Each structure stands twice: as structure tokens, then as C-alpha cells.
Amino acid sequence: MNTPVCGGQGEKFMRKRLALQAVRLLVSANLLYAAIFLKFAGVPGSVALFNQMSQAVHGLVSQPVFRLGSGVFETVVAVLLLIPKTARLAAELIVMWMTAVILSHIFVLGYGPFFVDALMVMLLAVIYLALTRPHLPHLGSQWLWRLFLTRHGRQTPHGEV
């Protein structure tokens, strides 16, 4: 006879799984939107940002190469993030990519909505990596899980509050 798992490990596992899927979908949607509707479409604001980047490297890389190349990279990484077996690799690539994007905004482009967007994408990718890292004895991802997703007073698998 099958008995449903209520309030135990099964419920916690399902909540964590849903949270991880939500993070993957949010990051992928954000990257695909930026790639398809801003970079590939050649929106004037996007073209202007990549013109600044091209000028920052003294024209060694042209604006279309910067813009379309980053769009292709972001599209590939967004698709990899949607595939469960490659999601962790994609999250690692996103952290590296967003580090470069954030630095380019700090030193070349300035602060604005794209800068905030890059910070949020990086934060979500770091959260995903923290929640999916291999469990080490007493160092698993439980601290982050408790911080973001458990209710006050609930017990963790190790009996901590």
C-alpha cells in the first residue's frame, strides 16, 4: 500500500526541486529575452551599449561581433540551463559571464537597468550552484536552503532549527 509522504523529506525535496526549476526558468527566460529581443533584434539601446564596448577595446572587436556573439553565447547557455544534466555547468558559465558583464558595466558602460539585471542573474546562478553543490559532511547546501526556503521553527534533516 502506498502512503503519501506528508511534511517529511518528500515535501522538502519537492519544494527544493520546484525552487531550483523556478531559478532555472527565470534565468533562462531572462537570457533568452536579452538575446532574442535586444541583441539579435538590434534594439538601438543595445547597439549603443555594444558600440561603447567596441570603442573601449579600440575597435578590435566590432559592435556587431560583440552584440551577436554575446547573444549566441547567452542563447546556448540558456538552453544548457534548461537541460537538467547540463544545468550546473550552465550556471557556472553564467556566473563567469555575468562577472564579465558586471565588470564591463562598472568600468565602461555605467550603471543602469542592464547592470541591475546582470546582478540579479548572477545572484540566481550563484543560488542555484549553492543549492546543487555536492554534499560534503556537515557542509551541504542546508544553510542556504534554510535561509531562503524553510519556515521558522521547522527541523532540518540534521535536527537543527
Who has greater pLDDT, 140 or 63? 63
**Which amino acid does the sequence have at 128?**
Y
Give the count of alpha carbons within 13 A of 116, CB side only.
2
pTM of the predicted protein model:
0.78
d(CA 80, CA 97): 14
Give the tens place of pLDDT for each residue, 35-94: 999 999 999 999 999 999 999 999 899 999 999 999 999 999 999 999 999 999 999 999
- What mean pLDDT, rounded, does the chain reach? 85
Three cell numbers, residue 157:
534533516
Using CA atoms, how far residue 16 sits from 10, 47, 157, in Å, is 10, 39, 13
pLDDT band at 161 (very low <50, low <70, confident <90, very high): very low
